[in-house]
Amino acid sequence: MAKKSIVTWIAVILVLLWTLVPLYWFAKMAFQTPAEISVFPPHLYPHQPTISGFFNVLGYPYTSRSGEVFIAAGQAGQVKMGLLNSLILASIVTCITTVVVVPLAYTFARLEFQHKNKLLFAILLSVALPPISIMIPFYILFVKIELAGTLLGLVLVTLTITIPFVAWMLLGFFRNLPPVERLARIDGFSRFGAFVKIVIPMAKVGIAVGAIISFLFAWNEYTFAQILVNGTPATTIPASISGFLFQHPEPEHLAASIIFSLIPPFIVAYLLQKHIAKMNIVEPLG
């Protein structure tokens, strides 16, 4: 047992290092001056920490105590728009995905109807397609119907990924719920009433996890955003961060905007973490 727990600890530490070291490196860069970042060998922590990057990336110049002036980032407008647009995009996508997916997954999981398996396979297929393969058709279509460069267009494209993916995930969850529908019939619920008043409250953990996943997906989605909205007023945060690549190098600004982009998903995950921990696909209720 003792041996096993040591192995477990080593595994946990390795996973944490894998995830946290790059994150730390960026966080460190966000608090450094451009001069310090270019030092070799690199400092393991900021020797003269500064928060100038955070101001600059939001469009404000910053004067340090020593009188040094850091001017606002050129990409600041895009970053600010990106943060706002991403928040709108992720919220809308999460709402629509949840509203569509919950009845969809429930229907497939608990009801019998014709061609069920074929339809299920079609859903799986739409998750299996690599996004890049439908990029060009979507782009041409959106240019023609004037959805390119709009948030609405991006919402629509993102939904084509989140809906089948989350539906597939929730399907197993609903399938493993105990068969309370018959009990609900005896207690005088209609089919729809049982779904709304019994099944949804019962499945709230799974639904919450599905919502988190669609929020995070919409927030992080890069491929479609890069093609459809980058450089327009509808840009999202992943697309606007990528804008740093083609400019005079400002690594502290890049790092600061990445830190900003981590905040909302972090809050969402933190608020719903107890549900994530409870989520168990095989046995949904423990």
Partner 1 sequence: MAKIYLEHLHKNYGESVALNDLTLHIEDKELIVFLGPSGCGKTTSLNCIAGIEQPTSGRIHFDGQDVTDVPPHRRNIAMVFQSALLYPHLTARDNIRISLRISRISKQDIDRQVEEAAKLLDIHGLLDKLPFHMSGGERQRVATAKAIVRNPSVFLMDEPLASLDAAMREDLRAEIVVLQKKLGTTMVFVTHDQVEAMTMGDRIAIMQAGALQQVGTSDEIYSSPVNTFVAGFVGSPPMNFFQGAIEKRDEEHRFKHTKFHVKLPEAVVQRSEEPLEAKSVTLGVRPHHMTLSETPEEGALKGQIYAVERLGKETVVIVQYGGEVKFKAIVPPSFRQSMGDVVYVLPQAEHIYLFDSNTGRNLLCQKKQASASPARSSLSDLNG
The interface region with partner 1, picked from 35-43, 70-78, 97-105, 173-181 by CB under 8 A, is: 173-181
- Binds partner 1 (CB under 8 A): choice among 88, 120, 159, 202: 202
Residue 282 found at the interface with partner 1 (CB under 8 A): no
Residue 277 found at the interface with partner 1 (CB under 8 A): no
Measure the CA–CA gap between 227 and 139, rounded to whole angstroms. Answer: 8
Omega within 30 of 0 (cis) for the link into 41: yes
Residue 196 found at the interface with partner 1 (CB under 8 A): no
Number of residues that bind partner 1 (CB under 8 A): 16
- Measured from the CB atom, the residue of 137 and 179 that comes closer to partner 1 is 179
The interface region with partner 1, picked from 67-75, 90-98, 144-152, 186-194 by CB under 8 A, is: 186-194
Residue 117 found at the interface with partner 1 (CB under 8 A): no
SS3 63: strand
SS3 69: strand
The interface region with partner 1, picked from 2-10, 97-105, 172-180, 211-219 by CB under 8 A, is: 172-180
What is the maximum span of the chain, computed from C-alpha positions, in angstroms? 76
Measure the CA–CA gap between 283 and 286, rounded to whole angstroms. Answer: 6
SS3 206: helix
The answer to whether 109 and 259 have CB atoms below 8 angstroms apart is: no
Q: Kindly report the CA angle at 70 between 61 and 67, in degrees rounded to 5?
A: 100
Give the nearest distance from C-beta 286 to partner 1 in angstroms. Answer: 5
Residue 279 found at the interface with partner 1 (CB under 8 A): no
Measure the CA–CA gap between 70 and 76, rounded to whole angstroms. Answer: 13
Joined together, the tokens standing for residue 247 give 């400019």
Residue 191 found at the interface with partner 1 (CB under 8 A): no
- Measured from the CB atom, the residue of 43 and 191 that comes closer to partner 1 is 191
Phi first, then psi, for residue 62 (nearest 5°) are -135, 130
Residue 67 found at the interface with partner 1 (CB under 8 A): no
**Facing residues of 70 across strands?**
62
Residue 285 found at the interface with partner 1 (CB under 8 A): yes
Give the nearest distance from C-beta 167 to partner 1 in angstroms. Answer: 22
Bridge pairing between strands 62-63 and 69-70 = antiparallel
Give the nearest distance from C-beta 178 to partner 1 in angstroms. Answer: 6
Measure the CA–CA gap between 57 and 252, rounded to whole angstroms. Answer: 9
- Binds partner 1 (CB under 8 A): choice among 43, 116, 185, 274: 185
The interface region with partner 1, picked from 2-10, 37-45, 127-135, 176-184 by CB under 8 A, is: 176-184
Residue 187 found at the interface with partner 1 (CB under 8 A): yes
Q: How would you class 136 by CB atoms within 10 Å of its CB: exposed for 0-12, middle for 13-18, buried for 19 or more?
A: exposed
Q: Which residues bind partner 1 (CB under 8 A)?
A: 177-180, 182-183, 185-188, 198, 201-202, 204, 285-286
